[in-house]
Structure 1
Amino acid sequence: MTPPAARSGTGQPAELYFEDLVPGLTVDLGVVTVDGDEMVAFARRFDPQWYHVDSELAGESRHGGLIASGFYTVSLFMRAYVDHLLSRAAADASPGLEELRWLAPVRAGDRLAVRVDVMGARPSTARPGLGTVSLTGTMLRLGPDDRPEQEVLRTRFRGWFAARPTEGDPPAGDLPETGTPAADLPETGTPGAEVPDGGPAVADVPASPTSATSADGPPSAPPTVEPHN
Protein backbone atom coordinates (compact mmCIF):
# COMPACT_ATOMS: atom_id res chain seq x y z
CA MET A 1 0.00 0.00 0.00
CA THR A 2 1.34 3.46 -0.89
CA PRO A 3 1.66 5.66 2.23
CA PRO A 4 -0.42 8.87 2.25
CA ALA A 5 1.35 12.10 1.33
CA ALA A 6 2.48 14.12 4.33
CA ARG A 7 1.38 17.75 4.48
CA SER A 8 3.64 20.74 4.84
CA GLY A 9 2.99 23.52 7.34
CA THR A 10 0.78 25.28 4.78
CA GLY A 11 -1.15 22.16 3.80
CA GLN A 12 0.62 21.35 0.55
CA PRO A 13 2.39 18.02 -0.04
CA ALA A 14 5.69 17.98 1.84
CA GLU A 15 9.04 17.60 0.14
CA LEU A 16 11.31 17.85 3.21
CA TYR A 17 11.18 15.47 6.17
CA PHE A 18 12.83 14.97 9.53
CA GLU A 19 15.65 13.01 7.88
CA ASP A 20 16.53 16.03 5.70
CA LEU A 21 16.96 18.42 8.66
CA VAL A 22 20.43 17.29 9.67
CA PRO A 23 22.58 19.10 12.26
CA GLY A 24 24.77 21.66 10.54
CA LEU A 25 22.20 22.52 7.86
CA THR A 26 21.69 26.26 7.22
CA VAL A 27 18.38 27.31 5.68
CA ASP A 28 18.29 30.72 4.00
CA LEU A 29 14.90 32.34 4.70
CA GLY A 30 15.43 35.31 2.42
CA VAL A 31 15.45 39.05 3.15
CA VAL A 32 12.53 41.03 4.59
CA THR A 33 12.11 44.81 4.45
CA VAL A 34 10.46 46.49 7.44
CA ASP A 35 7.31 48.35 6.38
CA GLY A 36 6.93 51.46 8.56
CA ASP A 37 3.12 51.63 8.41
CA GLU A 38 2.76 47.95 9.24
CA MET A 39 5.32 48.26 12.05
CA VAL A 40 3.37 51.10 13.73
CA ALA A 41 -0.04 49.47 13.12
CA PHE A 42 1.18 46.29 14.83
CA ALA A 43 2.44 48.28 17.81
CA ARG A 44 -0.80 50.25 18.13
CA ARG A 45 -2.73 46.97 18.24
CA PHE A 46 -0.45 44.83 20.36
CA ASP A 47 2.38 46.84 21.97
CA PRO A 48 1.44 50.56 22.19
CA GLN A 49 4.48 51.79 24.07
CA TRP A 50 5.42 55.35 23.20
CA TYR A 51 8.73 54.53 21.50
CA HIS A 52 6.81 52.23 19.13
CA VAL A 53 3.90 54.55 18.29
CA ASP A 54 4.70 58.21 19.13
CA SER A 55 7.17 59.54 16.56
CA GLU A 56 7.61 62.92 18.32
CA LEU A 57 8.46 61.45 21.72
CA ALA A 58 10.61 58.73 20.13
CA GLY A 59 12.50 61.35 18.10
CA GLU A 60 13.36 63.32 21.23
CA SER A 61 14.53 60.23 23.11
CA ARG A 62 17.74 58.25 23.08
CA HIS A 63 16.11 56.03 20.42
CA GLY A 64 16.24 58.87 17.90
CA GLY A 65 12.96 57.78 16.30
CA LEU A 66 10.41 54.98 16.28
CA ILE A 67 11.64 51.45 16.85
CA ALA A 68 9.74 48.25 16.14
CA SER A 69 8.09 46.18 18.81
CA GLY A 70 10.22 43.09 19.37
CA PHE A 71 7.13 40.97 18.84
CA TYR A 72 6.65 42.55 15.41
CA THR A 73 10.24 41.62 14.57
CA VAL A 74 9.79 38.01 15.65
CA SER A 75 6.55 37.92 13.63
CA LEU A 76 8.59 38.85 10.54
CA PHE A 77 10.92 35.98 11.39
CA MET A 78 7.99 33.59 11.75
CA ARG A 79 6.54 34.58 8.39
CA ALA A 80 9.88 34.00 6.65
CA TYR A 81 10.21 30.63 8.44
CA VAL A 82 6.77 29.57 7.19
CA ASP A 83 7.27 30.87 3.65
CA HIS A 84 10.68 29.33 3.04
CA LEU A 85 10.82 26.20 5.22
CA LEU A 86 7.55 25.11 6.84
CA SER A 87 5.73 25.52 3.51
CA ARG A 88 7.96 22.71 2.18
CA ALA A 89 8.52 20.57 5.28
CA ALA A 90 6.37 17.91 6.95
CA ALA A 91 5.99 20.12 10.01
CA ASP A 92 4.01 19.21 13.09
CA ALA A 93 3.57 21.41 16.18
CA SER A 94 6.39 23.09 18.12
CA PRO A 95 7.01 22.15 21.75
CA GLY A 96 8.38 25.64 22.48
CA LEU A 97 11.44 27.85 22.53
CA GLU A 98 14.41 28.23 24.86
CA GLU A 99 15.66 31.70 23.91
CA LEU A 100 14.32 34.88 22.31
CA ARG A 101 16.64 37.89 22.25
CA TRP A 102 16.26 41.32 20.67
CA LEU A 103 19.84 42.42 20.16
CA ALA A 104 19.43 45.78 18.41
CA PRO A 105 16.60 48.19 17.52
CA VAL A 106 14.74 47.60 14.27
CA ARG A 107 13.41 50.57 12.29
CA ALA A 108 11.25 51.24 9.26
CA GLY A 109 13.09 50.52 6.03
CA ASP A 110 15.58 48.07 7.56
CA ARG A 111 16.44 45.09 5.38
CA LEU A 112 16.84 41.95 7.47
CA ALA A 113 18.46 38.72 6.27
CA VAL A 114 16.80 35.73 7.93
CA ARG A 115 18.10 32.20 8.42
CA VAL A 116 17.80 29.12 10.60
CA ASP A 117 20.54 26.67 11.56
CA VAL A 118 19.76 23.08 12.55
CA MET A 119 21.58 22.44 15.83
CA GLY A 120 20.34 18.96 16.68
CA ALA A 121 17.84 16.30 15.60
CA ARG A 122 16.64 13.07 17.15
CA PRO A 123 13.64 10.77 16.73
CA SER A 124 10.87 11.35 19.23
CA THR A 125 10.62 8.56 21.77
CA ALA A 126 7.11 9.59 22.80
CA ARG A 127 5.54 10.29 19.39
CA PRO A 128 6.39 7.58 16.86
CA GLY A 129 6.81 8.88 13.35
CA LEU A 130 8.02 12.32 14.48
CA GLY A 131 11.48 13.76 15.13
CA THR A 132 12.46 16.66 17.36
CA VAL A 133 14.64 19.27 15.62
CA SER A 134 16.50 21.99 17.56
CA LEU A 135 16.97 25.22 15.59
CA THR A 136 18.59 28.62 15.97
CA GLY A 137 17.00 31.50 14.08
CA THR A 138 18.76 34.80 13.37
CA MET A 139 17.96 38.11 11.69
CA LEU A 140 20.81 40.34 10.45
CA ARG A 141 20.48 43.96 9.36
CA LEU A 142 22.02 44.51 5.93
CA GLY A 143 23.92 47.61 4.87
CA PRO A 144 23.61 49.46 1.54
CA ASP A 145 26.11 47.02 0.01
CA ASP A 146 24.05 44.02 1.21
CA ARG A 147 26.74 43.03 3.71
CA PRO A 148 25.51 42.13 7.21
CA GLU A 149 25.93 45.00 9.67
CA GLN A 150 24.35 43.82 12.91
CA GLU A 151 22.41 40.89 14.37
CA VAL A 152 19.04 42.16 15.58
CA LEU A 153 17.28 38.94 16.67
CA ARG A 154 18.24 35.48 17.83
CA THR A 155 15.97 32.66 18.94
CA ARG A 156 16.47 29.00 19.86
CA PHE A 157 13.47 26.71 19.53
CA ARG A 158 12.36 23.18 18.68
CA GLY A 159 9.96 21.76 16.13
CA TRP A 160 8.43 18.38 15.45
CA PHE A 161 8.74 17.07 11.90
CA ALA A 162 7.33 13.88 10.41
CA ALA A 163 9.70 11.13 9.35
CA ARG A 164 9.68 10.21 5.67
CA PRO A 165 6.80 7.76 5.28
CA THR A 166 7.46 4.17 4.36
CA GLU A 167 5.00 1.55 3.20
CA GLY A 168 2.66 0.62 6.02
CA ASP A 169 3.26 3.74 8.13
CA PRO A 170 0.18 5.56 9.48
CA PRO A 171 -0.11 9.27 8.60
CA ALA A 172 1.45 11.53 11.20
CA GLY A 173 -1.87 13.37 11.57
CA ASP A 174 -3.48 10.18 12.95
CA LEU A 175 -1.20 10.11 15.98
CA PRO A 176 -2.94 10.88 19.30
CA GLU A 177 -2.62 14.46 20.51
CA THR A 178 -0.75 14.79 23.78
CA GLY A 179 1.09 17.44 25.72
CA THR A 180 4.82 17.95 25.34
CA PRO A 181 6.38 14.53 25.98
CA ALA A 182 8.90 14.49 28.79
CA ALA A 183 11.28 12.57 26.57
CA ASP A 184 11.31 15.45 24.08
CA LEU A 185 12.09 18.20 26.57
CA PRO A 186 15.57 19.77 26.36
CA GLU A 187 18.26 17.90 28.22
CA THR A 188 21.17 19.28 30.18
CA GLY A 189 24.03 19.78 27.77
CA THR A 190 21.78 19.63 24.68
CA PRO A 191 24.09 19.70 21.64
CA GLY A 192 24.19 23.12 20.05
CA ALA A 193 23.40 25.12 23.20
CA GLU A 194 26.96 26.40 23.35
CA VAL A 195 27.53 26.83 19.61
CA PRO A 196 29.06 30.24 18.77
CA ASP A 197 26.79 32.91 17.30
CA GLY A 198 28.16 32.44 13.81
CA GLY A 199 26.41 29.04 13.56
CA PRO A 200 27.68 25.54 12.83
CA ALA A 201 29.70 24.32 9.92
CA VAL A 202 27.28 23.15 7.26
CA ALA A 203 27.17 19.45 6.53
CA ASP A 204 26.49 17.89 3.14
CA VAL A 205 22.74 17.51 2.69
CA PRO A 206 20.43 16.59 -0.21
CA ALA A 207 19.63 20.19 -1.11
CA SER A 208 20.50 22.79 -3.71
CA PRO A 209 23.50 24.99 -2.81
CA THR A 210 22.98 28.70 -2.29
CA SER A 211 24.87 31.40 -0.45
CA ALA A 212 24.52 31.63 3.34
CA THR A 213 24.80 34.90 5.24
CA SER A 214 27.34 35.03 8.06
CA ALA A 215 27.60 37.65 10.79
CA ASP A 216 31.38 37.33 10.67
CA GLY A 217 32.03 38.36 7.07
CA PRO A 218 30.82 38.33 3.47
CA PRO A 219 28.46 35.65 2.25
CA SER A 220 29.95 32.22 1.70
CA ALA A 221 28.51 29.37 -0.30
CA PRO A 222 27.93 26.25 1.84
CA PRO A 223 25.14 23.80 1.00
CA THR A 224 21.79 25.22 2.13
CA VAL A 225 18.12 24.73 1.50
CA GLU A 226 17.19 27.26 -1.16
CA PRO A 227 14.32 29.62 -0.22
CA HIS A 228 11.05 29.31 -2.14
CA ASN A 229 8.29 31.87 -2.44
Structure 2
Amino acid sequence: MSEVIYFEDMAVGNGIEFGPLTIGREEIIAFAREFDPQPFHLSDEGAAATHFGTLSSSGWHTTALSMKMMLAAWETRPGPRPAALGAIGVDELRWLNPVHAGDTLRGTSKVIEKKVSRSRPEMGIVKSQVIMWNQHDEKVLSMVPIVMFRTRPA
Protein backbone atom coordinates (compact mmCIF):
# COMPACT_ATOMS: atom_id res chain seq x y z
CA MET A 1 0.00 0.00 0.00
CA SER A 2 1.18 3.52 -0.83
CA GLU A 3 2.40 5.86 1.91
CA VAL A 4 0.27 8.52 0.25
CA ILE A 5 -3.34 8.58 -0.90
CA TYR A 6 -3.22 10.09 -4.39
CA PHE A 7 -6.09 11.49 -6.41
CA GLU A 8 -6.46 8.16 -8.21
CA ASP A 9 -6.90 6.33 -4.88
CA MET A 10 -9.93 8.39 -3.92
CA ALA A 11 -13.36 7.13 -4.89
CA VAL A 12 -16.77 8.75 -4.77
CA GLY A 13 -18.39 7.58 -1.54
CA ASN A 14 -15.12 7.25 0.41
CA GLY A 15 -15.00 9.28 3.57
CA ILE A 16 -13.75 9.87 7.05
CA GLU A 17 -15.38 10.53 10.41
CA PHE A 18 -13.87 13.15 12.69
CA GLY A 19 -14.25 14.44 16.21
CA PRO A 20 -15.49 14.56 18.86
CA LEU A 21 -14.40 17.97 20.06
CA THR A 22 -16.00 19.96 22.88
CA ILE A 23 -15.91 23.72 22.40
CA GLY A 24 -15.27 25.96 25.40
CA ARG A 25 -16.62 29.38 26.31
CA GLU A 26 -13.21 31.08 26.37
CA GLU A 27 -12.35 29.55 23.01
CA ILE A 28 -15.53 31.02 21.46
CA ILE A 29 -14.83 34.46 22.92
CA ALA A 30 -11.13 34.46 21.94
CA PHE A 31 -11.95 33.60 18.31
CA ALA A 32 -14.69 36.22 18.20
CA ARG A 33 -12.47 38.96 19.64
CA GLU A 34 -9.89 38.29 16.95
CA PHE A 35 -12.03 37.54 13.88
CA ASP A 36 -15.78 38.14 14.38
CA PRO A 37 -16.44 40.57 17.26
CA GLN A 38 -20.20 40.63 17.09
CA PRO A 39 -21.97 40.94 20.48
CA PHE A 40 -23.62 37.48 20.35
CA HIS A 41 -20.16 35.88 19.95
CA LEU A 42 -18.64 37.86 22.82
CA SER A 43 -21.05 37.48 25.75
CA ASP A 44 -24.35 36.05 26.98
CA GLU A 45 -25.54 39.62 27.53
CA GLY A 46 -24.84 40.50 23.91
CA ALA A 47 -26.60 37.35 22.73
CA ALA A 48 -29.62 37.76 25.03
CA ALA A 49 -31.20 40.37 22.74
CA THR A 50 -30.88 38.09 19.69
CA HIS A 51 -32.37 34.82 18.48
CA PHE A 52 -29.26 33.08 19.87
CA GLY A 53 -30.22 33.80 23.47
CA THR A 54 -26.82 32.80 24.81
CA LEU A 55 -23.23 33.03 23.63
CA SER A 56 -22.73 31.27 20.30
CA SER A 57 -19.69 30.43 18.24
CA SER A 58 -18.97 32.35 15.07
CA GLY A 59 -19.80 30.29 12.00
CA TRP A 60 -16.25 30.97 10.85
CA HIS A 61 -15.01 29.44 14.09
CA THR A 62 -17.19 26.37 13.57
CA THR A 63 -15.82 26.05 10.02
CA ALA A 64 -12.23 26.34 11.29
CA LEU A 65 -12.97 23.67 13.90
CA SER A 66 -14.12 21.32 11.14
CA MET A 67 -10.69 21.67 9.49
CA LYS A 68 -8.92 21.14 12.81
CA MET A 69 -10.95 17.99 13.48
CA MET A 70 -10.50 16.57 9.97
CA LEU A 71 -6.73 17.02 10.08
CA ALA A 72 -6.56 15.48 13.55
CA ALA A 73 -8.51 12.47 12.27
CA TRP A 74 -6.07 11.99 9.38
CA GLU A 75 -3.08 12.35 11.71
CA THR A 76 -4.31 9.79 14.23
CA ARG A 77 -5.63 7.10 11.89
CA PRO A 78 -3.22 4.41 10.74
CA GLY A 79 -2.25 4.20 7.10
CA PRO A 80 -1.33 6.56 4.31
CA ARG A 81 -1.96 10.31 4.34
CA PRO A 82 -3.81 12.20 1.60
CA ALA A 83 -1.68 14.12 -0.92
CA ALA A 84 -3.72 17.29 -0.52
CA LEU A 85 -2.41 20.44 -2.19
CA GLY A 86 -4.80 22.98 -0.68
CA ALA A 87 -8.35 24.05 -1.42
CA ILE A 88 -9.65 26.28 -4.17
CA GLY A 89 -12.92 27.10 -2.47
CA VAL A 90 -16.00 25.98 -0.62
CA ASP A 91 -19.48 25.62 -2.09
CA GLU A 92 -22.75 25.52 -0.21
CA LEU A 93 -21.41 26.56 3.21
CA ARG A 94 -24.29 26.60 5.69
CA TRP A 95 -24.35 27.18 9.43
CA LEU A 96 -27.50 25.26 10.29
CA ASN A 97 -27.73 25.61 14.08
CA PRO A 98 -25.81 27.69 16.59
CA VAL A 99 -22.86 26.17 18.41
CA HIS A 100 -22.75 26.99 22.12
CA ALA A 101 -20.12 26.64 24.81
CA GLY A 102 -20.02 23.04 26.00
CA ASP A 103 -21.27 21.59 22.72
CA THR A 104 -19.48 18.47 21.50
CA LEU A 105 -19.04 18.40 17.75
CA ARG A 106 -18.38 15.52 15.36
CA GLY A 107 -18.52 15.22 11.61
CA THR A 108 -18.09 13.33 8.40
CA SER A 109 -16.46 14.12 5.08
CA LYS A 110 -17.44 12.06 2.03
CA VAL A 111 -16.14 12.35 -1.56
CA ILE A 112 -19.00 13.33 -3.87
CA GLU A 113 -17.16 14.25 -7.09
CA LYS A 114 -13.68 14.13 -8.60
CA LYS A 115 -12.07 15.21 -11.85
CA VAL A 116 -8.59 15.61 -13.29
CA SER A 117 -7.51 19.21 -13.67
CA ARG A 118 -7.49 20.29 -17.34
CA SER A 119 -4.77 22.88 -16.83
CA ARG A 120 -2.63 21.03 -14.24
CA PRO A 121 -2.42 17.29 -15.02
CA GLU A 122 -0.28 16.73 -11.91
CA MET A 123 -3.37 17.31 -9.79
CA GLY A 124 -7.01 16.42 -9.53
CA ILE A 125 -9.94 18.21 -7.96
CA VAL A 126 -12.08 16.53 -5.30
CA LYS A 127 -15.37 17.80 -3.88
CA SER A 128 -16.52 16.40 -0.55
CA GLN A 129 -19.70 16.78 1.46
CA VAL A 130 -18.81 17.79 5.01
CA ILE A 131 -21.45 17.67 7.73
CA MET A 132 -21.04 18.40 11.44
CA TRP A 133 -23.41 17.62 14.28
CA ASN A 134 -23.62 18.56 17.94
CA GLN A 135 -24.20 16.17 20.84
CA HIS A 136 -27.97 16.31 20.21
CA ASP A 137 -27.49 15.01 16.63
CA GLU A 138 -28.51 18.41 15.28
CA LYS A 139 -26.66 19.46 12.12
CA VAL A 140 -24.62 22.58 12.80
CA LEU A 141 -22.62 22.87 9.56
CA SER A 142 -22.76 21.65 5.98
CA MET A 143 -20.32 22.51 3.20
CA VAL A 144 -18.70 21.24 0.02
CA PRO A 145 -14.94 21.93 0.05
CA ILE A 146 -13.13 21.79 -3.30
CA VAL A 147 -9.62 20.41 -2.72
CA MET A 148 -6.67 19.78 -5.02
CA PHE A 149 -4.86 16.43 -4.70
CA ARG A 150 -1.60 15.31 -6.23
CA THR A 151 -1.95 12.66 -8.95
CA ARG A 152 0.18 9.54 -8.83
CA PRO A 153 3.64 10.13 -10.34
CA ALA A 154 4.16 8.44 -13.72
- Between Structure 1 and Structure 2, how many residues are aligned? 149
1:138 maps to which residue?
Answer: 131
Secondary structure of 1:80's match? helix
2:14 maps to which residue?
Answer: 25
Q: Judging by fraction of residues, say which structure has more helix.
A: 2
Secondary structure of 1:37's match? helix
* Map 1:120-139 → 2, pairs under 5 A: 120-139=113-132
The AA in structure 2 aligned to 1:127 is R
1:191 maps to which residue?
Answer: none
How far apart are residue 114 of structure 1 and its match? 1.4
Instruction: Write the distance in 2 (CA, Å) between the matches of 1:81 and 1:56.
Output: 33
Secondary structure of 1:100's match? strand
1:158-204 CA distance string (max 9 Å, x none): 111012224xxxxxxxxxxxxxxxxxxxxxxxxxxxxxxxxxxxxxx
Q: Judging by fraction of residues, say which structure has more strand.
A: 2
1:159 maps to which residue?
Answer: 147
- Give the percent of matched residue pairs that are identical in Structure 1 and Structure 2: 36
1:46 maps to which residue?
Answer: 35
* Map 1:1-229 → 2, pairs under 5 A: 15-59=4-48, 61-85=50-74, 88-143=81-136, 149-166=137-154
8 A Cα contact 1:95 1:160, kept in partner: yes
How far apart are residue 86 of structure 1 and its match? 8.0
Q: Which one has the largest radius of gyration?
A: 1
Instruction: Write the distance in 2 (CA, Å) between the matches of 1:164 and 1:49.
Output: 45
Instruction: Write the distance in 2 (CA, Å) between the matches of 1:76 and 1:69.
Output: 11
Name stretches of at least 5 consecutive residues in structure 2 with no aligned partner: none
How far apart are residue 22 of structure 1 and its match? 0.6
Instruction: Write the distance in 2 (CA, Å) between the matches of 1:57 and 1:157.
Output: 32
Name stretches of at least 5 consecutive residues in structure 1 with no aligned partner: 1-12, 144-148, 167-229
Secondary structure of 2:4's match? coil
Secondary structure of 2:86's match? coil
Task: Kindly report the root-mean-square deviation, in angstroms, between the aligned alpha carbons of the 2 structures.
Answer: 2.0
Q: Which moved more, 1:14-23 or 1:97-106?
A: 14-23
8 A Cα contact 1:14 1:90, kept in partner: no
Secondary structure of 1:94's match? strand
8 A Cα contact 2:44 2:53, kept in partner: no
8 A Cα contact 1:137 1:154, kept in partner: yes
Distance change in 2, residues 1:44/1:14 (3 Å): farther
Instruction: Write the distance in 2 (CA, Å) between the matches of 1:111 and 1:48.
Output: 23
Instruction: Write the distance in 2 (CA, Å) between the matches of 1:82 and 1:65.
Output: 29
Secondary structure of 1:92's match? strand
